[in-house]
Structure 1
Amino acid sequence: MKFGVSYSTPYYGVDPDRIMAFAQLAEECGFESLYLPEHIVLYPGAMVGPYEMPPSLPYVDPLDCLSFVAAATERILLGTGVLLLPYHHPVILAKRLATVDVLSKGRMRLLTVGLGALSGEALAMGVDFASRGRRADEAIDVLRLLWAGGEDGVSFAGEFFSFDNLCSFPKPYEVTRLPIHIGGSSRAAARRAGRRGDGYFPGGALDPGERAVQWELVRSSAAEAGRDPEALEYTRFGSIDMPVERVEELAAQGVTRIVVNTAATEPDRQREELSVFARRFGLLEHFPR
Structure 2
Amino acid sequence: MKFAVSYSSAHFGTDPDRIIDYARHAEACGFEGLYLPEHLVLYPGAKMHTFEVPPTLPFLDPLDTLAYVAAATERLLLGTGVLLVPYRHPVVLAKQLATIDVLSKGRMRLLTVGLGTLPEEAAATGVEFRARGRRADEAIDVLRLLWEGGEEGVSYQGEFFTFENLVQYPKPYQATTLPIHVGGSSLPAARRAGLRGDGYFAGGMLVPQERKAQWDLARSTAEEAGRDPDALEYTRWSGIDMTDERLAAFAAQGVTRVVVSATAVDPNEQLDELSRFAERFGLARV
TM-score by length of 1: 0.98
Which residues in structure 2 correspond to 1:1-289 (within 5 Å)? 1-284=1-284, 288-289=285-286
Q: Greater CA deviation, 48-57 or 159-168?
A: 48-57
Q: Runs of 4 or more off by more than 4 Å in structure 1?
A: none
Where 1:19 maps in the other structure, the secondary structure is helix
Shift of 1:53: 1.8
Aligned AA for 2:235?
A: T
Q: Once the 2 structures are TM-superposed, how far is the Cα of residue 68 of structure 1 from its aligned partner?
A: 0.3
Q: What do residues 205-229 of structure 1 show as CA deviations (whole Å, max 9, x unaligned)? A: 0001100010000001101111000
- Which range is displaced more, 80-89 or 148-157? 148-157
Q: How many equivalent residue pairs?
A: 286
Q: 1:48, CA displacement in angstroms?
A: 2.3
2:86 counterpart letter in structure 1: P
Paired with 1:276 and 1:68, the residues of 2 have a C-alpha distance of 26
Letter in structure 2 aligned against 1:272: D
SS of 1:3's partner is strand
What letter corresponds to residue 278 of structure 2 in structure 1? A
Question: Gapped runs of 5+ residues in structure 1?
Answer: none
Counterpart AA for 1:144: R
Distance 1:168 1:42 in 2: 33
Q: Which moved more, 1:47-56 or 1:112-121?
A: 47-56
- Aligned-partner SS, 2:258: strand
Contact 2:233 2:256 in 1 (8 A): yes
TM-score of the superposed pair, with normalisation by structure 2: 0.99
Unaligned runs of 5+ in 2: none
Between 240-249 and 142-151, the greater mean CA deviation after superposition: 240-249
Percent identity, please. Answer: 68
**RMSD after superposition:** 0.7
Query: Are the aligned partners of 2:180 and 2:199 in contact in 1 as well (CA < 8 Å)?
Result: yes
- Residues in 2 aligned to 1:46 and 1:268: alpha-carbon distance in whole angstroms: 31
Q: CA deviation at 1:246?
A: 1.0
CA shift, 1:54, in A, is 1.0
Distance in 2, matches of 1:129 and 1:117, equals 9
